[in-house]
């Protein structure tokens, strides 16, 4: 279980994905984007818009079930991207680097970018915007919902 949690709102995700697009602008031009499903789909759509890219491919890799990591399984390869030449791979987060290494092996010539990075996976990608500690679990807006919580004083300061 994670020691820390970092909540990302829709607004923050949008700002961070646009910041990543800004960093990537000078590295192109790119032919298209490969979004890693599912977490990379929304950041890839934002980045595709900002970089004015119309070719969006996806690769589906199952690595996590809730907060439990398993062996990666490619359930849909990114056929349209060939060996990755001219393509940008986008994911929400690189954690241990397991998924990134699997996708990198499929698309060795692509540029790999993530919005968020943890230290253990940083060497598996080329670009990122925000780094969090390895023991932090990022709560993405598609995995959470806002709800009322008791004030700290009523919860005994917890």
- List, for residues 126-147, the tens digit of each pLDDT value: 999 999 999 999 999 998 888 8
Q: Is 135 a catalytic residue?
A: no
- List, for residues 113-124, the tens digit of each pLDDT value: 999 999 999 999
* Mean pLDDT for the chain overall: 92
Q: Is 123 a catalytic residue?
A: no
* Active-site pick, 16, 83, 91, 143: 91
Long-range contacts of 146-153, Cβ-Cβ distance < 8 Å, separation of 24 or more: none
Q: How confident is the model at residue 69 (pLDDT cuts 50, 70, 90)?
A: confident
* Active-site pick, 95, 123, 126, 143: 95
Range of the domain at 61: 4-145
Neighbours of 28 (CB within 10 A): 13
Q: Read off the pTM.
A: 0.87
Is residue 9 in some structural domain? Answer: yes
* Active-site pick, 52, 92, 123, 135: 92
**Count of domains for the chain:** 1
Is residue 44 in some structural domain? Answer: yes
Q: Is 95 a catalytic residue?
A: yes
Is residue 17 in some structural domain? Answer: yes
Sequence-ordered strand ranges (E) for 19-151: 32-37, 56-65, 68-76, 87-94, 111-117, 127-131, 136-139
Is residue 155 in some structural domain? Answer: no
């Amino acid at each position: 279980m994670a020691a820390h949690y970092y909540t990302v709102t829709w607004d923050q995700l949008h700002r961070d994905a646009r910041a990543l697009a800004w960093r990537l602008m000078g590295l192109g031009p790119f032919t298209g984007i490969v979004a890693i499903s599912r977490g990379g789909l929304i950041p890839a759509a934002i980045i595709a818009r900002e970089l004015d890219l119309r070719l969006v491919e996806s690769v589906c890799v199952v690595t996590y079930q809730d907060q439990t990591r398993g062996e990666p399984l490619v359930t849909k390869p990114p056929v349209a991207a060939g060996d990755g030449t001219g393509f940008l791979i986008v994911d929400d987060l690189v954690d241990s680097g397991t998924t990134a290494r699997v996708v990198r092996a499929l698309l060795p010539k692509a540029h790999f970018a993530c919005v968020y990075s943890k230290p253990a996976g940083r060497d598996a990608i080329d670009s990122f915007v925000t780094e969090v500690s390895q023991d932090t679990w990022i709560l993405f807006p598609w995995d959470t919902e806002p709800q009322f919580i008791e004030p700290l004083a009523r919860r005994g300061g917890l």
